[in-house]
Amino acid sequence: MKLKTLMLGAAAAMVMAPAAFAERGSDGEVKIIYWQAPSILNPFLSGGTKDVESASMIIEPLARYNEKGELVPWLVDEIPTVGNGGVSEDLKQITWKITPGLLWSDGTPFTSADVKFTYEYCTHPEGGCAQLTKFEGISSVDTPDDLTVVVNFTEATPNPYGPFVGGESPILQAAQFANCLGANASTCTEQNFNPIGTGPFTVTEFKPNDVITLAANPNYRDPAKPAFATVTFKGGGDAASAGTAVMETGEFDYAWNLQLAPDVIAKMQEGGKGVPVAGFGPLVERIMLNQTNADPALPEGERSTALHPHPFLKDPAVYKAMSMAIDRPLLVEIGYGQAGKVTCNWVPAPDAFNSTSMSCDTQDLEGAKAMLDAAGIVDTNGDGIREKDGVPLSIVYQTSTNAVRQDFQALIKDWWEQIGLEVELRNVDSSVFFGGDAGSPDTFQKFYADVEMYANTFNGTDPQAYLGNALCDKAPRPETQWQGENISRFCMPEYDALWAELSKTADMAERQRIAKELNDMVVMNGGMIPLVHRGRLSAHSNTLGGVILNVWDSELWNVADWHRVN
Amino acid sequence: MTEPVPATPSPIEALKDKEPSKAPRSQWKDVWDQLRHHKGAMFGGSFLIFITLAVLLGPYIWQVDPQKLDIRNKDMRPIYHLLWDSDAKAAWSKPLGSDQLGRDNLAQMLAGGRASMAVGWAAMVLSLLIGTLIGVLAGYFKRLDGLLMRTTDLFLALPILPLLLVAVTLFRQPLRSSFGPEGGMFILIVTVIAITSWMPTARIVRGDILAIKEREFVLAARSIGTTSGKIIRRHLLPNVLSPIMVSAALGLATAIITESALSFLGVGFPSDFPTWGKMLADAVQRMEQFPERVLLPGIAISLTVLSVNYLGDGLRDALDPRIRGR
């Protein structure tokens, strides 16, 4: 009797043990599926999210963004700021203090020389580094001692957290990549496929465009982590089958970025093996309004350029009425469900930058009609289409080929036709639309249409560079080979002046105020009609704990904390 | 000695033909008699007539705008769902249900069928004309043979999808300004399908022409001074009619399928212009919840193609005098 009780107690204790005292490798294997397969594990040679995120389990930056978009120290003890003296008063220098005692997975110490090497690796003049923008404006990186990194900028940089911060800018080991500088970078297959890192896992085997198997890093800084001994990271397939594998069949523990209609997700969730999780970054589905005339009768090279302003889309009554006619809550319900929110803003996140000056969550067809009537834009020839100065409000509405976007097109066309516009829909294969080929008339940069719909976002948490997309000189035009980020060709001198002020301001509250004002300026002056604030939807199995969906950094940022739950 | 004269028929009588017991039959009557006994062809033909009439006349009877959104009545099930599930969201106002934006499925099927059939017929006729012309010229005129057949090989190597993407890029704007967005795209799709599908017809026709032009009756025609054009029209074309008919039937099927595939991939008609292929593409994501949205256009495409194939099969049997009558 006593013996039995004792044995039961012992058995119970053994069962309880892993949960109570987690230790490295105690939870076996975790299976992750990304429906885009990684082809390389060196994020400096590939801009693809799949490559950046898979590599983030192995190599790490000095600091990361957490799920709220706040900086958290990663390989350092604290985030340098002006307040703690880590950032110089003139905003030209930032000093990182590396945590003492960090080891690479091969057992050698992690030093400031590795950080400096990473800078040299990416900025090598002969190399084609994909993350070069992270290192822009740096004059030098100094290493006064083994644990101190000083980054000097050529100009005052209010946001000095570009280099060595976030999953796109991790630290490479100098010893491993020493011979891979410049033109040799892409030939170092062994290094690019098996980077040595400080992260919780190390590569066991990497099959490009297929599977990565990883094992716990024996030299990881927290002896209790990671809870999983091995990771199987499968790439490829499509979003629907990845969602099914996690939520319906339970073959995998984590599926990334499920871009599926809400009813499809709900159906998968009924499988009961997993749950979807949503996170909101600054991704906004929007309609860009062309400020220039895209009339095909205009000669090539003048079409959709500042030479010919748009005949009616610059009229406040027209773009305001177009925005009022849209039922955004319905669009969210149909297209994105829990992965979408109504927004009137170009920059809806981080929260501190989200302007609250506009509201647009109710559709007002009658108000839109009245506004057009009041502006004298009425149907004069009885064909059901309003005219402004004799030009009928007839627009071409283009977007990329995607089921949700085509549904949106159909709905918005219907509403716009109700207020007296004529709408022609066009959808372009997304590889062409976003391909950026200057020779194709169908790219979103060329914008040979009156309005176009797509989504855009920015990396990190500071919208300064993103807000710079509405500057006059960023407009795509023939002289720039149709490259440029100011897709709607928005141009307002006041905007440019205010943006210049933003780039010189360091005070956070002031930056937020200016950024909101810039956001409002673009939306209220008809640069775009924001529609839906889109989140990212991933799914994890019910038995996987510790998942915190992070849209500001790699989704696998805290993979060291993942564990098995019952 | 006079022998009795044997009773011989009068010479005039002997030269007279016997009266035909039945009225003469035309070739086409024979063909029809043969075709009528081919069950597959009869089924195929009547289904084809039915579906053609349905898409032509249907929109006048079922006067619902296929592009009309009715978001409150979205995701309705077909009326037959009420048979086993009395709570199903279904109503006689939308007999085949509605899609995720509340567009009426029946109206979309009719309008979509119109587009698909029109593309199918037009592309088939065009590819048949090109194929027959090239085949006859290559088979009859030896000088042209090498050149035309190498051209055929060249076209056989063209992949349709990249070609269509390039054609859309190059020609959409001019066609759109002259024929409107839907008309322009119709012409473009029909042309691209036609110029990528005439090659098998050309090869078959060339082969048959090569064989037939060496036969005695062609030699006889030539010896009395018949011109080449007359020989082709009077003697060769009627003899290659059966392979042409068969490739016509197959061509129609291919064209409908190609158009569906293009719509499925999102290349082609504006996204709110229904075709069977587009309906299929839109429905794939919700295949498990609303199987009818995949099944209806899928079955329509399959049955049309199948019926055309059966009809072609029957026509071949009926048009070939060696098979006819067996």
* B94-152 pLDDT per residue, tens: 888 888 888 888 898 898 888 888 888 898 899 889 999 999 999 998 898 899 999 99
A426 contacts A400 by C-beta, under 8 angstroms? no
- Residue from A324, A291, A327, A322 nearest A421 by CA: A322
A116 contacts A143 by C-beta, under 8 angstroms? yes
Query: Which range in A160-164, A201-205, A466-470 is most confidently predicted, on average pLDDT?
Result: A201-205
Q: Is A12 a residue whose pLDDT tops 60? A: no
Report the mean per-residue pLDDT for chain B: 83
Which of A263, A332, A433 best probes binding to B when mutated, by most B CB atoms within 10 angstroms? A263
- Residue from A102, A183, A208, A447 nearest A308 by CA: A447
Looking only at the bridges linking them, the beta strands covering A528-541 and A274-289 are antiparallel
B20 or B226, which is more confident?
B226
- At residue B5, the pLDDT reads 61
- At residue B9, the pLDDT reads 65
Nearest CA in chain A to B174: A296
B268 Cβ neighbours under 8 A, 6+ residues apart: B164, B168, B185, B189, B259, B262, B275
pLDDT band at B325 (very low <50, low <70, confident <90, very high): low
* Residue B150 CB neighbours (<10 A): 11
Look at residue B121 and give its three-state secondary structure: helix
* A379-406 pLDDT per residue, tens: 888 888 999 888 899 999 999 887 788 8
Q: Which residues of A touch B102 (CB under 8 A)?
A: none
Q: How many angstroms separate the CA atoms of A79 and A87, rounded?
A: 10
A203 contacts A58 by C-beta, under 8 angstroms? yes
pLDDT band at A152 (very low <50, low <70, confident <90, very high): very high
Looking only at the bridges linking them, the beta strands covering A394-400 and A422-428 are parallel
A369 contacts A417 by C-beta, under 8 angstroms? no
What letter does residue B234 receive in the DSSP assignment? I
Q: Is B22 a residue whose pLDDT tops 80? A: no
Task: For residue B169, give the nearest of A263, A427, A440 by CB distance.
Answer: A440
- At residue A266, the pLDDT reads 86
Q: Which residues of A touch B285 (CB under 8 A)?
A: 240, 260-261, 264, 403
Q: Helix/strand/coil (H, E, C) string of A251-314? A: CCCEECCCCCCHHHHHHHHCCCCEEEEEEEEEEEEEEEECCECCCCCCCCCCCCCCCCECCCCC
* A221-254 pLDDT per residue, tens: 888 888 999 999 998 888 888 999 999 999 999 9
Instruction: Tokens for A463, please give them.
Output: 């919208």
Q: Which of A6-20, A469-483, B131-145, B249-263 has the lowest mean pLDDT?
A: A6-20
Q: What is the mean pLDDT of residues A49-54?
A: 85
Instruction: Tokens for A243, please give them.
Output: 């969602």
- Fill in the amino acid letter for B138: A
**What is the number of CB-based contacts under 8 A between chain A and chain B?**
67
B99 CB within 8 Å of a chain A CB: no
Q: What is the mean pLDDT of residues A510-520?
A: 92
pLDDT band at A59 (very low <50, low <70, confident <90, very high): very high
Q: Which residues of A touch B176 (CB under 8 A)?
A: 296
Q: Which of A3-17, A199-213, A447-461 has the lowest mean pLDDT?
A: A3-17
Q: Is A296 in Cβ contact with B272 (below 8 Å)?
A: no
Q: Is A510 a residue whose pLDDT tops 80? A: yes
Q: Is B69 in Cβ contact with A410 (below 8 Å)?
A: yes
Q: How many C-alpha atoms does A182 have within 13 Å on its Cβ side? A: 4
The CA-CA-CA angle for residues B193, B197, B200, to 5°, reads: 175
pLDDT band at B17 (very low <50, low <70, confident <90, very high): confident
pLDDT band at A15 (very low <50, low <70, confident <90, very high): very low
- Fill in the amino acid letter for B92: W
A394 CB within 8 Å of a chain B CB: no
A67 CB within 8 Å of a chain B CB: no
CA distance B282 to chain A (A): 7
- At residue B7, the pLDDT reads 64
A148 contacts A96 by C-beta, under 8 angstroms? yes
How much of chain A exceeds pLDDT 90, in percent? 38
Q: How many angstroms separate the CA atoms of A358 and A521, rounded?
A: 11
Task: For residue A267, give the nearest of B69, B165, B288 by CB distance.
Answer: B288
The answer to whether the bond into A350 is cis (omega within 30° of 0) is yes
Nearest CA in chain A to B161: A429
* Residue A21 CB neighbours (<10 A): 9
pLDDT band at A19 (very low <50, low <70, confident <90, very high): very low
- At residue A285, the pLDDT reads 92
Q: What is the mean pLDDT of residues A424-439?
A: 79
A37 Cβ neighbours under 8 A, 6+ residues apart: A50, A208, A209, A210, A234, A235, A236
Q: Is B43 a residue whose pLDDT tops 60? A: yes
- Residue from A528, A476, A486, A477 nearest A288 by CA: A528
Q: Which of A18-27, A193-202, B308-317 has the lowest mean pLDDT?
A: A18-27
Which of A423, A427, A452 best probes binding to B when mutated, by most B CB atoms within 10 angstroms? A427
Q: Is A18 a residue whose pLDDT tops 70? A: no
A274 contacts A539 by C-beta, under 8 angstroms? yes
Q: Is B6 a residue whose pLDDT tops 70? A: no
Options 3.40.50.410, 3.10.105.10, 3.40.50.2300, 3.40.50.300; which CATH number does A280-535 get? 3.10.105.10
* A295-354 pLDDT per residue, tens: 888 888 888 888 999 999 999 999 999 999 999 999 998 888 888 899 999 999 888 888
Q: Is B271 a residue whose pLDDT tops 80? A: no
* Residue A85 CB neighbours (<10 A): 10
Query: Which range in A453-462, B144-153, B180-189 is most confidently predicted, on average pLDDT?
Result: B144-153
pLDDT band at A30 (very low <50, low <70, confident <90, very high): very high
Largest CA distance in chain A: 99
Q: Is A431 a residue whose pLDDT tops 80? A: no
Looking only at the bridges linking them, the beta strands covering A528-541 and A340-342 are antiparallel
Q: Is A17 a residue whose pLDDT tops 50? A: no
Q: How many angstroms separate the CA atoms of B299 and B97, rounded?
A: 16
- At residue A20, the pLDDT reads 40
So what's the ipTM on this one?
0.70
A320 contacts A367 by C-beta, under 8 angstroms? no
B153 Cβ neighbours under 8 A, 6+ residues apart: none
- Fill in the amino acid letter for A514: I
Q: Is A409 in Cβ contact with B71 (below 8 Å)?
A: no
* B199-254 pLDDT per residue, tens: 888 999 999 999 998 899 889 998 999 898 888 888 888 888 878 877 887 788 77
Which of B271, B279, B282 best probes binding to A when mutated, by most A CB atoms within 10 angstroms? B271
- Residue from B322, B314, B309, B320 nearest B120 by CA: B309
Q: How many angstroms separate the CA atoms of A336 and A492, rounded?
A: 33
Put simply, the chain B residues between 271 and 290 with a CB less than 8 A from any chain A CB are 271-272, 281-282, 285-286, 288-289
Look at residue A53 and give its three-state secondary structure: helix
- At residue A1, the pLDDT reads 45
Q: Which residues of B touch A429 (CB under 8 A)?
A: 165, 265-267
Instruction: Tokens for A49, please give them.
Output: 């999210």
The CA-CA-CA angle for residues A283, A284, A286, to 5°, reads: 150
Report the mean per-residue pLDDT for chain A: 87
Q: How many angstroms separate the CA atoms of B244 and B241, rounded?
A: 5
A98 contacts A147 by C-beta, under 8 angstroms? yes
- At residue B70, the pLDDT reads 79
Q: What is the mean pLDDT of residues A66-91?
A: 87
- At residue B3, the pLDDT reads 61
A334 contacts A530 by C-beta, under 8 angstroms? no
Nearest CA in chain B to A400: B266
Q: Is A240 in Cβ contact with B286 (below 8 Å)?
A: no
B8 or A263, which is more confident?
A263
Look at residue B58 and give its three-state secondary structure: helix
pLDDT band at A16 (very low <50, low <70, confident <90, very high): very low
- Residue from B183, B295, B312, B300 nearest B250 by CA: B312
Q: Which residues of A touch B283 (CB under 8 A)?
A: none
A156 CB within 8 Å of a chain B CB: no
Domains of chain B: 36-59+104-319 (1.10.3720.10)
